[in-house]
Amino acid sequence: MRSPVRVAVFSAALSLSAGLLAGTALANDQLIQMSKDPAQWVIPGGNYASQRYSPLKQINVDNVKNLHPVWTFSTGVLRGHEGGPLIVGDVMYVHTPFPNKVFALDLNNEGRILWVYEPKQDPNVIPVMCCDTVNRGVAYGDGKIILHQADTTVVALDAKTGKVVWSVKDDDPSKGATGTSAPLVVKNMVLVGVSGGEFGVRGHVTAYSLADGKQVWRAYSMGPDSDILFDPEKTTSMGKPVGKDSSLKTWQGDQWKIGGGDTWGWISYDPELNLVYYGSGNPSTWNPVQRPGDNKWSMTIFARDADTGVAKWVYQMTPWDQWDYDGVNEMILADVNVHGKPTKALVHFDRNGFAYVLDRTNGALLEAEKYDPAVNWATHVDMKTGRPQVVAQYAPGQQGEEHNTKGICPAALGSKDEQPASFSPDTGLFYVPTNHVCMDYEPFKVAYTAGQPYVGATLSMFPPKGEKNLGNFIAYDVNEGKIVWSDPEMFSVWSGALTTAGGVAFYGTLDGYLKAVDMKTGKELYKFKTPSGIIGNVTPFMHNGKEYIAVLSGVGGWAGIGMAAGLTEDTAGLGAVGAYKALNNYTQLGGVLTVFGLSD
């Protein structure tokens, strides 16, 4: 049995001088070791590679049918519960959407509350949160719990007591900037992104000292080379130096200053290469006619030196984004065969419907294939240029004027949004929660005013023609570049996936079911309906020799924004309300953590 006190003391001993980035013990040395202990879940993605895989196998394909709830915990907060808990020693740390409470729960006593942190935030931040008041989780390092609050405050809490150790403001909510992402502790730093692309906020990732919150570096998504931390001769894209002013040349005038490219998704890290990986989101505004050009470096995968933030390589997936295909989904790092060749790969299932495989050491594009057959906005990705081959019929603003473009697949919420996929080293497959949704898209002219919506498009969403299901849970093989099996779901699969050594893949559904399927075949082995729709990430842990599965339920997020915010017009919620109107017939609001286990 691990004591949280011993964990904190051990962490403090490892971090003798947290402000230094070299020559001393590093917080991530401890995290790397702790993440190898399958009893714990100390990094939001399970490990730095964001694989969301557990070597636990007590729960397996033969006995998962005997799974049942063993205890539950109500967060007392409504709206969308994204992300998942951390398990550090004998303590589980649970977060909520706004007001961003954090609970420390005692696993030795079925979730007895050890402490609660509830920040006092200005509720005026709620109207500038694009797609519900979600938060994707906390981070752990050096005896601290790190939270990124809705008002962009980054706060470090003592993991033992919940007391504030330090806090720092990351950006300005009065201009539309918000905090929804899970931080990541790398070396002796905390890395955080920012939300606000729908308000013209210029995206950035910032590294703060884990010891005291002082800024170490900040890298913007677009702007001058000095802002985006590019070396024009050494930073590469598609194997070539990006050259001077690679971003500025692709924007008209000063549009880049309100250009979006926000960074509210997940961050991964390769300790051997010392590179951090993440994606940037849509350019602002959603009306492409108002911002001609490639709009670099929105919609981009970044590989940055962890110590300095300087970009080693970049790859832009959707130049001149005309569809709101944010590029922020997780970067899964895996050593896999790609077309038969062993590869240090970065695998990214993008909103735009293509599964990208790159060499994570140098950014070489190795594969880009559709992972939903409904995708029609582009025929393929040119492997020499890296550019998608766009179908003019499905390209809003392609003719230089605003008009309603119908039947685009996928919709703006993508073939997958932030809900993270999982990689199993046992099967070599990726398990992906997906959306199966198309849209009509009508841009309109919009003027920028700080703190006001800067969207400029009206959307309607619906299933692909002739189909009814809005989602699928799939197994994907990057070696072959194809879907292995696909399980249809009535609604989008908006939860994070989990795979285990027991041969089971877990995911949640918008209508509230926790499901377990056979990783090899997709056969459903177990399901249980939780109190509300699941948009949280399934999380495993072991305590006192028994394996458990935990998941947050609490419908919301973009797909559930109609229920979460009480919206009724079909085009409300940036187009999602009409597509998911039937959710009201299957689930209701409410934040609950459910912990599942096997019978004794």
Read off the pLDDT of residues 253-275 as tens digits, 9 standing for 90 and up.
999 999 999 999 999 999 999 99
The distance between the two most distant Cα atoms of the chain, rounded to a whole number of Å, is: 67
Q: In the predicted model, is pLDDT for residue 10 greater than 50?
A: no
Q: Which residues are catalytic?
A: 324
Give me the pLDDT at residue 16, please: 28
Q: How many CB atoms lie within 10 A of CB 443?
A: 24
Q: What is the DSSP string of 549-598?
A: EEEEE---TTTTHHHHHT--STTTGGGHHHHTGGGGGT-----EEEEEE-
Read off the pLDDT of residues 577-591 as tens digits, 9 standing for 90 and up.
999 999 999 999 999
CA distance 571 to 293: 28
Peptide bond into 178 cis (omega under 30): no
Separation of CA 198 from chain center = 17
Question: 564 with 590: CB under 8 angstroms?
Answer: no
CA distance 185 to 162: 18
Decide: residue 23, CB within 10 A, 0-12 exposed, 13-18 middle, 19+ buried: exposed
Q: Distance of CA 244 to CAs 198, 241, 296, Å?
A: 28, 9, 13
Q: Mean per-residue pLDDT for 429-448? A: 97
Q: For the chain, what percentages of helix, strand and coil (3-state, to nearest 5) are there?
A: 10, 35, 50
Q: In the predicted model, is pLDDT for residue 11 greater than 80?
A: no
Question: 132 with 97: CB under 8 angstroms?
Answer: yes
Strand partners, 460: 440
For the ranges 279-283, 326-330, 532-536, 564-568, the lowest mean pLDDT is seen at 564-568
Phi, psi (degrees; rounded to nearest 5) at 4: -65, -25
Q: In the predicted model, is pLDDT for residue 282 greater than 60?
A: yes
Q: How many CB atoms lie within 10 A of CB 257?
A: 13
Give me the pLDDT at residue 246, please: 98
Structure-token pair, residue 132: 């519900």
Q: In the predicted model, is pLDDT for residue 20 greater than 50?
A: no
Q: In the predicted model, is pLDDT for residue 14 greater than 50?
A: no
CA distance 229 to 221: 9
Q: What is the DSSP string of 124-161?
A: GGGGG-TTSS-----EEETTEEEEE-TTSEEEEEETTT
| Cβ-based neighbours of 304, under 8 Å, separated by 6 or more | 205, 219, 229, 275, 276, 277, 310, 311, 312
pTM, two decimal places: 0.95
Give me the pLDDT at residue 345, please: 98
Q: In the predicted model, is pLDDT for residue 17 greater than 50?
A: no
Read off the pLDDT of residues 121-136 as tens digits, 9 standing for 90 and up.
999 999 999 999 999 9
Give me the pLDDT at residue 5, please: 32
333: nearest Cα among 261, 266, 264, 404: 266
Beta strands in 234-364 (DSSP E): 236-237, 240-241, 268-270, 275-279, 300-305, 311-316, 332-338, 341-349, 354-359
DSSP H or E stretch at residue 543? strand 539-543
Q: At what angle do helices 4-14 and 27-35 cross, to 10 degrees?
A: 140
Give me the pLDDT at residue 8, please: 34
Strand partners, 202: none
CA distance 347 to 349: 7
Domain boundaries, the chain: 4-597
Assigned architecture for domain 4-597: 8 Propeller (2.140)
Query: What amino acid is encoded at 203 in this protein?
Result: G
Strand partners, 475: 431, 485
Give me the pLDDT at residue 279, please: 98
Query: pLDDT band at residue 402, thresholds of 50, 70 and 90?
Result: confident
Whole-number average pLDDT of the chain: 94
More confident residue, 27 or 131: 131
Kindly provide the b/e burial profile for residues 549-587, where b requires at least 16 CB atoms within 10 angstroms of the residue's own CB: bbbbbbbbbbbbbbbbbeeeebbbbbbbbbbbeebeebb
Read off the pLDDT of residues 28-40 as tens digits, 9 standing for 90 and up.
899 999 999 999 9
Question: 356 with 329: CB under 8 angstroms?
Answer: no
Query: What amino acid is encoded at 316 in this protein?
Result: Q
Helix (H, G, I), strand (E, B) or coil at 220: strand
Decide: residue 277, CB within 10 A, 0-12 exposed, 13-18 middle, 19+ buried: buried
**What is the rounded end-to-end Cα distance, in angstroms, of the chain?**
19
Give me the pLDDT at residue 399, please: 73
Query: What amino acid is encoded at 385 in this protein?
Result: T
Query: pLDDT band at residue 72, thresholds of 50, 70 and 90?
Result: very high
Give me the pLDDT at residue 3, please: 39
